[in-house]
Structure 1
């Protein structure tokens, strides 16, 4: 399979599973406290990744690399999932996902500042346009209760995710990517589970078929396979460009939230979609400049 085709398949998979994650998580939160729910699904995902990574045990180097694993776990898992799962209780799922996906804009800027990735006019315009698209979705996309606390948690989730991705990119030469993904998710999941156990009650979890199915789907496809695909793409390409495609994820989230959660679609959502698609084109397509050669005299 050609590399470009393989990358596109992985991107489509990631966009789909991460898109439907938001309404599914919103549904599951009706049956469990946020931190315990975040911890359970993340620990399960981490265990799956550890089992996948076991044949490469020699590449773990836990004694030398545990500070890297821990830092990445706190940024990309504890803060990201913690802020996300709590924040989903305050705002509609589609709207919250749109706020969180300010992340590609932050990632594009951080990748330029700290990773030395190129920043040219069209890329700047694309990143800004993507932010405007997300803002358009956020401002008028849905009716219902929207709290300032929920918006701030969404922004905090976006910031922690962007910082975590840049940190991972900087350390990618030192670590095995499979073990990095497995360790950060497992360590982060354990921290979330311990924190949840300290402030929430396990007896509040309703272990019905809906909660179990949602949790297992998120653990396997969204967390284990999703993060594995995401970091594989980040490791193989420019972080800012890969991150820009995640602007499509709120579109999937919005569509499924409308169908499953009866959240309303408006003109703002359509306009936001157009702006987001345009931003992806600007960030990812470089227009070649063809130099005009001067013709010799007499020709």
Structure 2
């Protein structure tokens, strides 16, 4: 990976890491469903324009049903869960738990697609989930709002599980499709579902400019522009390297929370985050043991693990 591509990867991590900051600001004002609906509406409009500039909707012909379902699993439901979680969880902790996404993708690939899990990847799963337990136990379980924080943490884990399912669904049913077309079609599906739901969850009070600014940044920058950078990286450095953005996001997510929201970062948060990132890198096959034969390389490298598209 050359220096320019690394800078793009770092920029994407900064953009997607900032999404947790914007959710934290916007969710209390809009509410989880309304915030997510406006977010995906902005993102869908942006991506539709980009797709039209690329030639239109022809790549989606005959695939709309599966693409729309991916939109529900990969955008509509997870985005709502994140918005709900950040009503009580700090942005930094949410970004750390989000790093478990490739772990869930590995588990779903094993259970559904028969992807092999060798000893190192299984160890990574155990290490990663151990980090989640440590993080929840020390930084959440000691909170004065114990029940709310635990439910919020479970909501984030549910969102990352949905990311893992949708990544494998994309690999199973949408392999070979233009990635921008998949992103646009799935965002249209998410926007359709959430816009209908938002009609019953509209804010009743006037919204401050900070809330509107947050949702605009979420839709256009974090989701729309983020997707464009992500697809460019997939095309130029490959999905295995592009997915490493998941390991950089917690660092930037914590940084934005400290800089703009005055969030406190404990030693346990740092240690738990490092454990989660290590476990995820092992479970996803990003870190591998020395390979002694071609057979071992094909069996346990994890190079065919679906590249998750979470559209933060």
How does the TM-score come out when normalised to structure 1? 0.82
CA 210–165 in structure 1, closer or farther in 2 if over 3 Å, else same:
same
Equivalent pair of 2:59/2:181 in contact (CA under 8 Å): no
Aligned equivalents of 1:99, 1:289: Cα separation in 2: 30
1:196 is matched with which residue? 198
Q: Provide, for residues 143-192 of structure 1, a one-character-per-residue CA deviation record: whole Å limited to 9, x for no partner.
A: 55342332332222111111111111223335221111011112202311
Aligned equivalents of 1:77, 1:189: Cα separation in 2: 9
Equivalent pair of 1:130/1:247 in contact (CA under 8 Å): no
How far did residue 252 of structure 1 move?
2.3
1:297 is matched with which residue? none
2:182 is matched with which residue? 180
Local SS of the residue matching 1:29: helix
1:83 is matched with which residue? 81
Equivalent pair of 2:123/2:279 in contact (CA under 8 Å): yes
Aligned equivalents of 2:228, 2:171: Cα separation in 1: 14
**Which residues of 2 match residues 260-299 of structure 1 at below 5 A?**
260-279=260-279, 282=282, 283-289=285-291
CA 262–139 in structure 1, closer or farther in 2 if over 3 Å, else same:
farther
Aligned structure 1 segments of 4 or more residues deviating by more than 6 angstroms: none
Aligned equivalents of 2:66, 2:274: Cα separation in 1: 39
Local SS of the residue matching 1:286: coil
Aligned equivalents of 2:230, 2:211: Cα separation in 1: 25
Once the two structures are overlaid, the 10-residue window that deviates more, 219-228 or 46-55, is 219-228
How far did residue 253 of structure 1 move?
1.9
Tell me, which stretches of 5 or more residues in structure 2 are unaligned?
294-312
**Which residues of 2 match residues 230-269 of structure 1 at below 5 A?**
230=230, 236-238=238-240, 243=243, 245-269=245-269
How does the TM-score come out when normalised to structure 2? 0.79
Aligned length: 285
2:13 is matched with which residue? 15
How far did residue 64 of structure 1 move?
1.1
Aligned equivalents of 1:123, 1:5: Cα separation in 2: 29
How far did residue 39 of structure 1 move?
0.8
Tell me, which stretches of 5 or more residues in structure 1 are unaligned?
292-299
How far did residue 96 of structure 1 move?
2.9
Cα RMSD between the aligned structures? 2.9
